[in-house]
Amino acid sequence: MRIVFAGTPEAAVPALRALAASDHEVALVVTRPDAPLGRKRVLTPSPVAAVAEELGLPVLKAARLDADITATILATAADLGVIVAYGGLVREPLLTGLGAGWVNLHFSLLPKWRGAAPVQRALIAGEAELGWAVFQLVAELDAGAVYRQEPYTPEPDATAADALRALAEIGAEALPEIVTAIGEGATPVEQVGEPSYAHKLTLVDGLLDPDAGAEAVFARYRGVTPEPGAHVRVGGATLKVAELARVEADIEIPAGTIRMEAKRVLLGTVDRPVQLVRVQPAGKQEMAAGDWWRGLRLDELHVDPATMDTDSETEGTTR
């Protein structure tokens, strides 16, 4: 199969490498434009762009798939488009303009968690089982028929970054075989069940609410790490929580209170505490929570009440 590949972040890199190493031909790689990164805001190619250039593949950088970009992609006369977290809308005539259309490697068991942040939202919801799917891209958000999907169970303490890394590798390994099957006329299966939606995360999604209970706090930490990052508010300032751990011991600390107990910095919730392992106070570098706490010279500290804004809008057709 002659393929156009569209992707941007690190999670898309294994799929690109797998296709480039297969019997299929990657005719063009489409990715987002270079973005300013770091404190000096240096323009930096996307992870997919960097790997495509390393592999000697032609690269097209585009913020949106407009008429000119669409014409360039269609001019490749590719048999199939493969998209993995590109970050832009695929509309007609591009959507159905290639021989077999487009397929999407998506990191959930469809129709659960359609949308931009499936792994993150599943972890926040406390789900133990994740998964990946390769489906036919259609106009409706992540609603196309599925060629293959498989479950994946992450480690109990795995963050979104850990789970995405694993899913990206597992899905990428299967992708060349799925593309071969599509070329041989494989028929996808329609999705069955009630869909749920994984809206894009915002900074407020990272706010830990001690009134939610230890498991809910830990689940949210897993889902928002590393982006947009877990945090609490202390005295009106943000305290980022880079690493959090469960506490199995029977220790009682009022919800929202931070104390040091048995050389551990603990945050109380409504049922049992969680341990702050690494934190980053406002305006400072990340550090061990014990070092931060000893510098405060306090017996206890109370976090500001959490006001969680969970309203968000369903996003349009993207990948």
DSSP string, 209-243: -GGG-HHHHHHHHHHHTTTT-EEEEETTEEEEEEE
Q: Whose CA is closest to 237, among 309, 274, 292?
A: 292
> In terms of domains, do 189 and 211 share one?
no
Last residue of a domain, one of 198, 221, 237: 198
Q: Domain for residue 186, yes or no?
A: yes
**CATH number of the domain where residue 42 is located:** 3.40.50.170
Last residue of a domain, one of 171, 198, 225: 198
| DSSP 8-state symbol, 201 | P
Supply the range of the domain harboring residue 262. Answer: 203-302
pLDDT of residue 224: 98
Greatest CA separation for the chain: 68
Q: Domain for residue 108, yes or no?
A: yes
The pairing of strands 25-31 and 300-302 is unpaired
Alpha-carbon distance of 164 to 206, in angstroms, equals 18
> In terms of domains, do 154 and 55 share one?
yes
> In terms of domains, do 79 and 107 share one?
yes
> In terms of domains, do 78 and 105 share one?
yes
Taking only Cα atoms into account, the Rg of the chain, rounded to an integer number of angstroms, comes to 22
pLDDT of residue 37: 82
pLDDT of residue 307: 64
pLDDT of residue 36: 85
Angle at which helix 214-224 crosses helix 160-183, to 10 degrees, equals 60
First to last CA, the chain: 21
> In terms of domains, do 167 and 185 share one?
yes
**CATH number of the domain where residue 250 is located:** 3.10.25.10
* Burial environment of residue 6 by CB neighbours within 10 A (0 to 12, 13 to 18, 19 or more): buried
Q: Domain for residue 106, yes or no?
A: yes
Chain centre distance of CA 209:
22
Q: Domain for residue 309, yes or no?
A: no
Scan for tokens 């049922």, then name that residue: 271
- The pLDDT tens digits along the chain (319 residues) read 999 999 999 999 999 999 999 999 999 999 999 888 877 888 899 999 999 999 999 999 999 999 999 999 999 999 999 999 998 889 999 999 999 999 999 999 999 999 999 999 999 999 999 999 999 999 999 999 999 999 999 999 999 999 999 999 999 999 999 999 999 999 999 999 999 999 999 999 999 999 999 999 999 999 999 999 999 999 899 999 999 999 988 899 999 999 999 899 999 999 999 999 999 999 899 999 999 999 999 899 999 987 644 333 333 333 4
> In terms of domains, do 218 and 178 share one?
no
Q: Report in angstroms the alpha-carbon separations of 144 from 111, 120, 199, 210.
A: 9, 21, 18, 39
Judged by DSSP in three states, 153 sits in coil
Can you name the residues that pair with 128 across neighbouring β-strands? none
Tally the domains of the chain: 2
> In terms of domains, do 90 and 148 share one?
yes
Q: Domain for residue 317, yes or no?
A: no
pLDDT of residue 192: 96
Q: Whose CA is closest to 289, among 300, 277, 303?
A: 277
pTM above 0.85, yes or no: yes
